[in-house]
Amino acid sequence: REVMVEKQMTAHRVDRAICGWFWEYVLAHAAGDPSKVVVSPTHYLFRVYRSGVTFLACTQVEMPPLMAIEFLSRVADVLTDYLGDINEDTIKDNFVIVYQILDEMMDNGFPLTTEPNILKELVAQPNMVSKMLNVMTGKSSTIGSKLPDATASFVPWRTTIVKDASNEVYVNIVEELDACVNREGVLVKCEACGEIEVNSSLPGLPELTLSFANPTIINDVRFHPCVRFRPWESNQILSFVPPDGQFKLMSYRVKKLKTTPIYVKPQLSSDSGNCRVHVMVGIRNDPGKPIDSIIVQFQLPPLIASADLTANHGTVDILADQTCVWTIGHIPKDKAPSLSGNLRLEEGLAHLHAFPIFQVKFRIMGAALSGLQIDKLDVKNTPSAPYKGFRAQTQAGRYEVRS
């Protein structure tokens, strides 16, 4: 027993030394985002940053980096599923559950159980009733008393008995549009990064087949483990037995899009210690659905003494970090939103030498701007024909306009 305690204490000291070295590395590279793979004098470190929390894994031997990064991403997804928004406080408040989840997900340094459905049977989700019972009984363990049946199934991502199945399935296309427009207004880059999200509430062991009207536009696909690869490789068809509940079926990228739904035209000119600003926003390519939640923001250039900016539509706010946020909402039909005003430079400066980059945000419900379309969804092995729902949504990702 003394030997085991000594080994645990040694491992704890090594972990603290690795974490200390890593944060020294992060501080030394504060000007830029540190790499996802870092080589220390004694270990290889892998990191994933999610919602203000850094997930760190280390190994003393070489291994495929994507394996470690994918595992850390799974850990972050599972903890988000369990705890909601993950941050320092929620992890501290649910430390026992977090420790039990990590203990089930990895065994002796190897990924073991990463499917949320099995983990939820092994480790109960936190709720007020369980916390009260733990306080009253003095127990802190939430580990299940028996091994889940799905661990012996050929579809471990699905529970053997689905409770309260409403015989419905919903498919949602969610896309983010990344674009870069140069100072001349030319679209330099435009691509869509998308996900196919499925919410399944089907009884039994259903077989689903999803096909697209234009699958050739898809690149860089990544599938949920439930997807059979051969039907996709041969016919670009998604064949799978879905998990119960909501999950991400696949992610993809559509490259070299030709246009954006809205335009942002900034004009800045400076002389005699003043910089005049004029920005116009309008619809360039109507997607056929309303464009809302439009926000244009930019960082005020350095050496600005004061700023006086107004808009004919929406509100303009200058935050404490010198970020100007123009909240437009939607574009009215009778006028094009515009922002104008003056930036006063500090004494001794006649011209502005660094021009800002404008960040654009928007949301479009009911349209996938990549052009990806679902052809049909077939469902087999269900007692009756299920209800099938489809939806699409596009929002701005990294959308930049240079000035």
Residue-range definition of the domain harbouring residue 109: 16-127
Find the CATH number of the domain harbouring 240.
2.60.40.1170
Q: Report percent pLDDT > 90 for the chain.
A: 42
Please report which confidence band the pLDDT of residue 162 belongs to, taking 50, 70 and 90 as the band edges.
low
pLDDT of residue 5: 42
pLDDT of residue 281: 94
The answer to whether residue 150 sits within a structural domain is: no
Q: Answer yes or no: are the C-beta atoms of 148 and 118 closer than 8 Å.
A: yes
Torsion sign (Cα): 14, 20, 24, 26: positive
Predicted confidence (pLDDT) at residue 138 exceeds the cutoff of 90? no
In this structure, the strands spanning 168-181 and 387-402 are parallel
33 and 51 inside one domain: yes
Average pLDDT of every residue of the chain: 84
For the ranges 124-138, 315-329, 344-358, the lowest mean pLDDT is seen at 124-138
- Tens-place pLDDT, residues 7-53: 444 555 556 666 676 666 665 555 455 567 888 777 888 888 888 88
Q: What is the CATH number of the domain that holds 106?
A: 3.30.450.60
Cβ atoms of residues 158 and 241 within 8 Å: yes
Give 7: exposed, middle or buried? Use CB within 10 Å, 0-12, 13-18, 19+: exposed
Residue 27 domain flag: yes
Over 60: is that where the pLDDT of 128 sits?
no
Domain count, the chain: 3
Q: In angstroms, what CA-CA distances link 40 with 17, 24, 45, 133, 233?
A: 11, 11, 7, 45, 40
pTM assigned to the model:
0.76
Establish if 373 belongs to a structural domain.
Answer: yes
Looking at per-residue pLDDT, the higher value among 129 and 384 belongs to 384
- Confirm whether 162 is domain-assigned: no
Residue 373 and residue 361 share a domain: no
